[in-house]
Amino acid sequence: MPQITVDYSAPLAEAFDRKGFALALHEVVVETANAKIEACKTRFRQTEDIVVGAETDGHALVHIMVALLPGRTDEAKAALTEAALRVLRAHVKLADGVTLHASAETRDLDDSYRKFVE
């Protein structure tokens, strides 16, 4: 915990500083959600094809999902979501003519969540 998943569209492969984003977001998660830095884990999934409305070109997508153990207030989760989007802006450099559609959510992990580290 926290489990962070970032889906991003292929046109951002060179424009998105993923490592810098993850490191900066981990710091925000520690400050905002009272997590431990060593518990923060982020994985990135590149999406090849996207369609926005009736268009297939000129758009890029990023969706950030932060999943935490239960116990944070709705206000704390909303603050973390807003902070994640601010951090994202600092780590994406768009090419001219590309519109970025960014979204984020912070949710509780299900009660069935388990983990181990070896």
Using one digit for the tens of pLDDT, what is the confidence trace for 10-65? Answer: 989 999 999 999 999 999 999 999 999 999 999 999 999 899 999 888 999 999 99
Residue 77's nearest CA partner among 104, 106, 103 is 106
Structure tokens at 60: 């890029």
- In whole angstroms, give the CA distance from residue 66 to residue 49: 23
Task: Give the pLDDT of residue 55.
Answer: 81
Domains of the chain, CATH where assigned:
3-108 (3.30.429.10)
Q: Using only C-alpha atoms, what is the Rg of the chain?
A: 15
Task: Give the pLDDT of residue 79.
Answer: 97
Interhelix angle 18-33/74-91, rounded to 10 degrees, is 160
At residue 59, what are phi and psi to the nearest 5 degrees?
Answer: -130, 150
Structure tokens at 110: 């299900």
Task: Give the pLDDT of residue 82.
Answer: 98
